[in-house]
Amino acid sequence: MGKSLKRGDRLIPALVAGVLTFLLFLLLPLSRMLSPDSDEERWNVREITPAQVPPPPPPEPVESQQSSLASAAAPDLRPAPEQLSLKALPITLSVNPDADLIASPAISSLAGGFNAGDEIRRFTFADLDGGPRVLSVPPVSIPLRLARRGFGRGRVVFSIRILTDGSVEILDVLESTHPELIDAARRSASRARFEPPEINGQPVEVEGKWPLLIDASPR
């Protein structure tokens, strides 16, 4: 009888433990049903609101792009060529026929197609009584580069032909003290006027040398 009591004492705690374990298994599903919010919070994914990005600006017109490219182009670093400015200076032209107009030797030739006795003669300054007479000579515009160097006096010798109306035809430039003066002196000499040359009352053309003296020194 004592052994049966001991076995009964051991069975009671085992039964109690089994009942409690069974009750725990029953309570687990019930606890999940009673707290559904906890699972939803555990598995919910937060929504992300996208940021509002402003739309890109419209493309610039082709003309404005070309103008901006032109403005951004590298500047031209090449030095600008020096401009040859002309400055009219008060000058004195020495046109004394006795001193400046030099007669060249007379030239005669036979023109083809004429009879052997028909001779065409080109007259020179020496054929005129007293030489050609100058009526007017325009002023010479001295190049600014030459004036800056302190130009005072120069001389250009032309070979010219005086036509029957007194106008001048430049044949050649024979010499010059300043090469920069040649173009300006040529323009002035080509617009000069002489007294119409005549021999025995007949208008003729004459040729010779004309030294044109240019004096820019103050008077």
How far is residue 57's CA from residue 37's CA, in Å, rounded to a whole number? Answer: 48
**Chain centroid to CA 66:** 19
How far is residue 55's CA from residue 64's CA, in Å, rounded to a whole number? Answer: 21
The pTM assigned to this predicted structure is 0.49
Instruction: Name the percent of the chain in helix, strand, coil, to the closest 5.
Output: 35, 25, 40
83-123 tens-digit pLDDT? 444 455 444 444 444 444 544 433 333 233 334 333 446 79
What per-residue confidence (pLDDT) applies to 45? 43
CA distances from 1 to 5, 10, 14, 15 (A): 7, 15, 21, 21
Domain boundaries, the chain: 86-215
What per-residue confidence (pLDDT) applies to 121? 65
What does the block give as tokens for 103? 């007669």
Q: Which of 219, 164, 156 is nearest to 188 (CA)?
A: 156
On whether the 86-215 domain is CATH 3.30.2420.10, my answer is yes
With a cut of 70, which residues of the chain have pLDDT below it? 1-10, 28-121, 218-219
